[in-house]
Amino acid sequence: MSSSILPQAAGYGVVIGMGLFFSAVMVGITKVQTRYTSHKTSSAEEFNSASRSVPPGLIAAGIVSAWTWAATLLQSSATAYKFGISGPWWYASGATIQILLFAMISSKLKQHAPHCHTFLEIIRARWGKVAHLTFLFFGLATNIIVSTMLILGGSATVTDLTGMNTVAACFLIPLGVSIYVLAGGMRATLIADYSHTLVLYCILISFALVAYGSSKYIGSPGRMWDLLAEASAKNPISGNAGGSYLTMRSKSGLIFGVLNIVGNFGTVFNDQAYWQRAIASEPSTSVKAFLWGGIAWFGIPMGIATSLGLSAVALAHGSNPIITLTSSEVSAGLPAVKAAAALMGQSGAIAMLILLFLAVTSACSAEQIAVSSLLTYDVYGVYINPNPSEKQILWSSHACILGYSIFMGAIATAFNYIGVSMGYLYELMGTMIGSAVVPIALCITWNKCNGTGAVVGAIVGFCAAIAGWIGITARLNGGLVNVDTTFGDYEMLTGNLLAIGIGGIITVGWSLVRPANFDWDITRAINAKPDNEVTRRDGTATPPQESESAEAGSEAEKKGDRDLQPEAASPDVDAEEQPTLYTADNVALQKAFRFASWSAIALTVILVILIPLPLFFSSYVYPKAGFTAWVCISLIWLFVGLAMVGIYPAWEARVGLKKVAVGIMSDLTGKRKPSA
């Protein structure tokens, strides 16, 4: 950009100043937590898993924060600019259903592997080393793609608004985040997520109220309808009913919806960040957390795209254009940025800068601690030092967080110079990681899933997706294969569908022909320590020596599936006494799974079939009254989301906050008793 709305100092001020401010606050909260609660970050279990005791409201806020990428705010608005109102719907619904469906995974995780640290520990226990290494590749690939999109989107916005050096932004954003992640671990990350999410909702609501309530350019849903109708006549969208921005009948929008659904299954089911939130949650409320998080999150892309995305259309394609957008700026996700600056001036640009910074840093922290857990527990603890001490685990976790933060900056810088945008990576991710979705989901939910079939499905699906993507690109573009030609709708759609389709078909088909017969007691015993007392199903205690003998005797049970090479475990004991004293009622967890299944599937059918498809096939174009209702619903959803993940977690934490306040007062008045 030749000129910037804000001075360059503003960019450095937000990236460095706010980064250090939030880091200082989180470090302070961690110190308070260590002094006044039982949760100590010197414990590896607390650092990496938050002692598996986080209540549902805070987990839901963490899910919303981790799932609110730069792409959520930028690409959702870009889809509104390109496809009209179908873009916000397909972006929101196509990326909500994965969180809702992950509620089922969360329930099964608590039921079948309550003490694991990563999903790869389950895969290693079930299917052995080859499978472990295969899905380690897909897990880390997912984290790298997500991290790159986060940094690319954030740095592009900071550069556009302030003129800040892109490379500097790429490195400073993740390094600033790493400070509080290093200090407080998983719990500090979730608390930071909550604070960021609270501010994020407030800014999004203000954008919507300005666009539809006080802006001199728009100011009401009726006026927006008039401007969109004018834009439809002046710049009709090819493939939309009547070329209108006010219809769900959008061919390109539907293709994007499919891409969005397929690609986002990979970035949820393959991403340790979401497994880590399931692991950190209280067993009895993990399902509630994911359902709440998914419902609340829907309002974020829907809200910002309906306000800023459609505003960009109205301001760019009206009779008196206020803004201009090139195709590269649209691909970079800048319609929302330009619309915010046009509607609110410098205050809008500053709000957008803060909004993107909070979204990027929250998601960055989730990715950093997720990668740290994978590298610590599935690389360092398996292939480098198989019996690490707690001190060594913490050292490895800290080193991996710092190292990955530097790597995030480097890989984002490389993609920036290559010319690959956030939008390109967003549509490509399903092709790269989609083949592992079904095998990973089935590893914790289906005891008949065959390990060999899962590995073959993931690898063959990946190869087929890449081949199909490149092949269709060459066929449709006269043999020309480059960044531009591979970014086509049908090219990306082919790769995405081949990945998840072939990976799933091979995995399920192989398992039906050669079913395994896996004993879930093996995964329930993951991370059971031999010096811990374990508890039989009849409630009697088993001494450590007997437990070890039982583990050794379980080898005969492992021969049901030749692909199975699990860790030592016993079918006669349940390893329940861990640092968090986890106890779970299997009947209650099974009931929670049924509730999660019915709820998630019902909401999925409503969001991606019952509402959008009839509107698509009927070629319905919204009248002014219908569009006004659309805008009102999107705004109400933002307020509901704020209540669910902004207000409720604070109420939920009232007892703990009171305890901390009493402890602080006791210290200030000198009445606190010294610890023994």
d(CA 613, CA 85): 14
More confident residue, 392 or 558: 392
Beta-carbon count within 10 A of 470 CB: 17
Determine the average pLDDT of the residues in 377-396: 92
Determine the average pLDDT of the residues in 281-303: 91
Cα-based distances in Å from 40 to 43, 51, 90, 582:
6, 9, 42, 17
- The residues, ordered by sequence, that sit 6+ positions from 422 with a Cβ below 8 Å of its Cβ are 70, 71, 74, 75, 149, 152, 153, 156, 331, 332, 333
pLDDT band at 184 (very low <50, low <70, confident <90, very high): confident
Which pLDDT tens digit goes with each residue over 18-31?
Answer: 888 877 887 888 78
d(CA 248, CA 83): 9
Determine the average pLDDT of the residues in 127-141: 95
Q: Confirm if 49 and 276 have CB atoms less than 8 A apart.
A: yes
pLDDT at 578 over 60: no
Which pLDDT tens digit goes with each residue over 660-671?
Answer: 888 888 888 877
pLDDT at 1 over 70: no
Out of 319-323, 444-448, 585-589, pick the least confident.
585-589
pLDDT at 409 over 70: yes
Provide the pLDDT for residue 42: 67
Provide the pLDDT for residue 590: 84
More confident residue, 83 or 583: 83
Provide the pLDDT for residue 443: 94
3-state secondary structure of 581: coil
pLDDT at 255 over 70: yes
| The dihedral formed by the CA atoms of 557, 561, 567 and 571, expressed in degrees to the nearest 10 | -30
Hunting for tokens 């945008």 — which residue is that? 421
Provide the pLDDT for residue 41: 66
Which pLDDT tens digit goes with each residue over 613-660?
Answer: 999 999 999 999 999 999 999 999 999 999 999 999 989 888 888 888
Q: Residue 675 has which token pair? A: 């610890």
- The residues, ordered by sequence, that sit 6+ positions from 501 with a Cβ below 8 Å of its Cβ are 461
Measured in whole angstroms, the distance separating CA 378 from the mean position of its chain's CA atoms is: 21
Provide the pLDDT for residue 585: 65
pLDDT at 161 over 50: yes
Out of 66-75, 532-541, 589-598, pick the least confident.
532-541
560 DSSP 8-state letter: G
Global pTM? 0.85
pLDDT at 469 over 70: yes
pLDDT band at 538 (very low <50, low <70, confident <90, very high): very low
Sheet holding 573-574: strands in order across? 541-542, 534-536, 573-574
Paired with 250 in beta bridges are 240
pLDDT band at 566 (very low <50, low <70, confident <90, very high): very low
pLDDT band at 557 (very low <50, low <70, confident <90, very high): very low
Provide the pLDDT for residue 529: 63
Provide the pLDDT for residue 22: 78
DSSP letters spanning 280-342: HB-GGGHHHHHHHHHHHHHHHHHHHIIIIIHHHHHHHHSSS------HHHHHTT-HHHHHHHH
d(CA 528, CA 554): 15
CA R_g for the chain: 25
Determine the average pLDDT of the residues in 218-228: 94
Q: Confirm if 476 and 517 have CB atoms less than 8 A apart.
A: no
pLDDT at 435 over 60: yes
d(CA 441, CA 529): 27
Give me the helix-helix angle, 422-433 and 70-83, nearest 10°.
100
Determine the average pLDDT of the residues in 76-98: 94
Paired with 621 in beta bridges are 247
* Burial profile 617-629: b = 16 or more Cβ within 10 angstroms, e = fewer: eeeebbeeeebbe
Q: Confirm if 574 and 534 have CB atoms less than 8 A apart.
A: yes
DSSP letters spanning 356-388: HHHHHHHHHHHHHHHHHHHHIIIIIIIII-SS-
Q: Confirm if 485 and 471 have CB atoms less than 8 A apart.
A: no
Burial class (CB in 10 A: 0-12, 13-18, 19+), 479: exposed
Provide the pLDDT for residue 536: 37
Provide the pLDDT for residue 310: 96
Share of the chain residues as helix, strand and coil, in percent rounded to the nearest 5: 75, 0, 20
- The residues, ordered by sequence, that sit 6+ positions from 352 with a Cβ below 8 Å of its Cβ are 157, 161, 336, 337, 340, 341
User: What contacts 24+ positions apart, CB below 8 Å, involve 20-25?
Assistant: 20/176, 20/179, 22/176, 22/180, 22/192, 22/195, 22/196, 22/361, 23/176, 23/177, 23/179, 23/180, 23/183, 25/180, 25/195
pLDDT at 598 over 60: yes
Beta-carbon count within 10 A of 512 CB: 12
Q: Confirm if 217 and 225 have CB atoms less than 8 A apart.
A: no
Q: Confirm if 433 and 272 have CB atoms less than 8 A apart.
A: no
Q: Residue 61 has which token pair? A: 């806020």
* pLDDT above 70 as % of the chain: 90
d(CA 277, CA 56): 10
* pLDDT above 90 as % of the chain: 52
pLDDT at 176 over 70: yes
Q: Confirm if 157 and 73 have CB atoms less than 8 A apart.
A: no
Mean of the per-residue pLDDT values for the chain?
Answer: 85
